[in-house]
Amino acid sequence: MQGLFVTFEGGEGAGKSTQIGRLADHLRADGDDVLVTREPGGSPGAEAVRHVILSGAAEPFGPAMEALLFAAARNDHVEQVIRQALKVGQMVLCDRYIDSSRVYQGVTGNLDPDLMRAIERAAIHGLMPDMTIILDLPAEVGLQRAHARRGAATADRFEKETIDLHRKRRDAYLAIATAEPERCKVIAANRPADEIAADIAALVDGLKTSRGLKTKQGIEVAK
Ligand code: TYD
C-alpha cells in the first residue's frame, strides 16, 4: 500500500492553503485517507526550527545557514511523518517542499547549485513528490493578497522583500516546471477558487488512475 505525495508551491498569496483544503475535501469524499502538512514544519522537530527561521533569527547568518535549517527541518518531517504516512497509504498534501528551497534559497538566495543539490539529497533521501502543483500568479497580485491577509506590519521575514524578488521567484518556479513537466503542473491562480480546485482535482484524479488507485469516478465508469 503506497499513498501519493502531492506538494503545493507558489509565492505568497497564491492561495495554497485554500487549495490544499479543497483537494483534501475532494479526496476524502472519495474515501481517501488524507494527511495535510506544511513546511517549514509538520513534525515537532521541524516546527521548532520553523520558529527560528521565520522569526528572522537566522537571517544575519546568511542564506546558506537558512538553507541548511530548512533542510534540517525537511529531513525531520520526511523521516518522522511523510514516509510513514505514504507507507500506510495516506494521500499526503504538503504546503511547500523542495521547490521552495530551490527557489527562495537557491535562486533568490544566490546559493551554489551544487551545494543546493547536495543539501536537497541529504534532506529527502529520494522522497520526491509524485506531483507538484505550482500556483502561478503575477507577483503584484500575490503580494497584495498576502498584505490584505496579514497586514504589511506583521509580514514575516520572507514577505517583507521587494516585488523584484517576487518576480524572480515566479520565474524560477516556471523554470522548474519547464525542466520537470512530468512532476510539476502550473495552475493559473488568478481565477475563481472553484475553477482552480476543479483543475487540481482533475490532475490528482488522473494521477490516482495512472497509479491504479481508484477514484469514485473510476468506480462509476467501471459499473
Ligand atoms: P509561511 O508562513 O508558511 O507562508 P506561506 O503561506 O507563504 O507558505 O512561510 C513560509 C516562508 O518560508 C515562505 O515565505 C517561503 C519560505 N520558505 C523558504 O524560503 N524555503 C523553504 O524551503 C520553505 C519550505 C519555505
Query: 161-211: per-residue pLDDT in tens?
Result: 688 889 999 999 999 999 999 999 999 999 999 999 999 999 999 999 999
Task: Please state, in angstroms and rounded to a whole number, the distance separating the CA atoms of residues 17 and 38.
Answer: 9
Q: Is the CB of 75 under 6 A from ligand 1?
A: no
Does the pLDDT at position 51 exceed 70?
Answer: yes
pLDDT score of 222: 40
pLDDT score of 160: 63
Residue 180: Cβ within 10 Å count: 13
* CA-wise closest residue to 2 among 81, 90, 82, 77: 90
Ligand 1 binding pocket mutation candidate from 47, 65, 96 (most atoms within 8 A of CB): 96
pTM of the model: 0.93
Q: Is the CB of 96 under 6 A from ligand 1?
A: yes
Rounded average pLDDT over 26-50: 98
Does the pLDDT at position 157 exceed 70?
Answer: no
- What nine digits make up the cell of 197? 480546485
Please give the backbone phi and psi of residue 214, each rounded to the nearest 5 degrees, phi first: -70, 145
Top CATH class, 4-210 = alpha beta
